């Protein structure tokens, strides 16, 4: 019954006023490139504290993790898949504005949610985010006339690919900082011919999940890796 009520009163989780998904005003508040937006880009480093793996990868986030972005992201992680799709589109546009089209065999992948998180939500937010990012990047590349340069053979454009599996049973949420620093137990599933990986995640806290995923992809022979997140904790 609660679900039925929520569907009929669906509102923008940013302002809690406008009906529907993220309203244009709240999109602007999360879009670093928009007039009246937060301005500038938010980068997170994946270099410390273990050194080596991921040192060369700088991440781009839409926003810092503060009250407004937290409210929107928490909604997206708790049933608002429409908002998750909006956030993915914003992230793709921000990435495209910063770095332009991607070439070669580009794959978008994500850090898998824990099994318990997936089960209680009914979806893996990273996977939905990856799909939205890839779809919007494909759209942007098409409209900028760069689509023909992307993808070879039967695969057209930027693909979404499950490159990691995860074996821990508890979520990052609710863990101590020390536990979070160890990150989730990820494994590389292997992939051939990935020239560029766009790795997406919702919130980067310590960067441990991103670091271990980047290290695995580097070990798997991916020459170019970018990390993208909705928000990073400062």
Which helix (H) or strand (E) segment is 107 a member of?
strand 106-110
Q: Does 209 sit behind a cis peptide bond, omega within 30 degrees of 0 on the bond before it?
A: no
In sequence order, what are the residues at sequence separation of 6 or more whose Cβ sits closer than 8 angstroms to the Cβ of residue 96?
A: 137, 140
By beta-carbon proximity to Zn ion, the closer residue of 12 and 76 is: 12
Beta strand pairing call for 224-232 and 58-64: parallel
Do residues 122 and 129 touch, judged by C-beta distance below 8 A? no
Cβ of residue 2: shortest distance to Zn ion, in angstroms?
22
By beta-carbon proximity to Zn ion, the closer residue of 75 and 113 is: 75
Cβ of residue 8: shortest distance to Zn ion, in angstroms?
18
> What is the torsional sign of CA 13, 17, 23, 26?
negative
Q: Which residues bind Zn ion (CB under 5 A)?
A: 12, 14-15, 18, 23, 26
By beta-carbon proximity to Zn ion, the closer residue of 18 and 50 is: 18
- Of 226, 175, 206, the closest CA to residue 59 belongs to 226
Beta bridge partners of 196: 106, 224
Cβ of residue 231: shortest distance to Zn ion, in angstroms?
17
By beta-carbon proximity to Zn ion, the closer residue of 15 and 45 is: 15
By beta-carbon proximity to Zn ion, the closer residue of 16 and 98 is: 16
Cβ of residue 12: shortest distance to Zn ion, in angstroms?
3
Cβ of residue 37: shortest distance to Zn ion, in angstroms?
14
Token code pair at residue 66: 């503060």
By beta-carbon proximity to Zn ion, the closer residue of 14 and 38 is: 14
Token code pair at residue 208: 């441990």
Cβ of residue 27: shortest distance to Zn ion, in angstroms?
8
In sequence order, what are the residues at sequence separation of 6 or more whose Cβ sits closer than 8 angstroms to the Cβ of residue 11?
A: 17, 18, 19, 20
């Amino acid at each position: 019954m609660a679900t039925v009520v929520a569907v009929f009163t669906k509102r923008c989780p940013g302002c809690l006023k406008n009906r529907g998904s993220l309203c244009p005003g709240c999109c602007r508040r999360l879009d670093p490139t928009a007039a009246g937006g937060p301005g500038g880009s938010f980068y997170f480093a994946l270099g410390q504290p273990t050194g080596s793996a991921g040192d060369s990868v700088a991440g781009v986030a839409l926003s810092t993790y503060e009250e407004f972005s937290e409210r929107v992201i928490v909604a997206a992680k708790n049933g608002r898949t429409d908002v998750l799709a909006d956030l993915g589109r914003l992230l793709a546009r921000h990435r495209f504005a910063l770095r332009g089209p991607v070439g070669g065999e580009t794959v978008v992948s994500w850090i898998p949610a824990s099994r318990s998180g997936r089960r209680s939500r009914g979806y893996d937010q990273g996977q939905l985010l990856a799909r939205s990012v890839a779809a919007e990047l494909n759209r942007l590349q098409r409209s900028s006339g760069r689509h023909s340069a992307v993808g070879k053979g039967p695969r057209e454009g930027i693909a979404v690919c499950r490159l990691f599996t995860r074996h821990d049973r508890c979520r990052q949420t609710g863990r101590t900082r020390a536990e979070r620093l160890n990150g989730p137990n990820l494994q590389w599933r292997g992939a051939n011919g990935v020239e560029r990986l766009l790795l997406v995640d919702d919130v980067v806290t310590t960067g441990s999940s991103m670091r271990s995923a980047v290290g695995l992809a580097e070990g798997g022979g991916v020459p170019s890796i970018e990390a993208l997140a909705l928000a990073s904790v400062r």
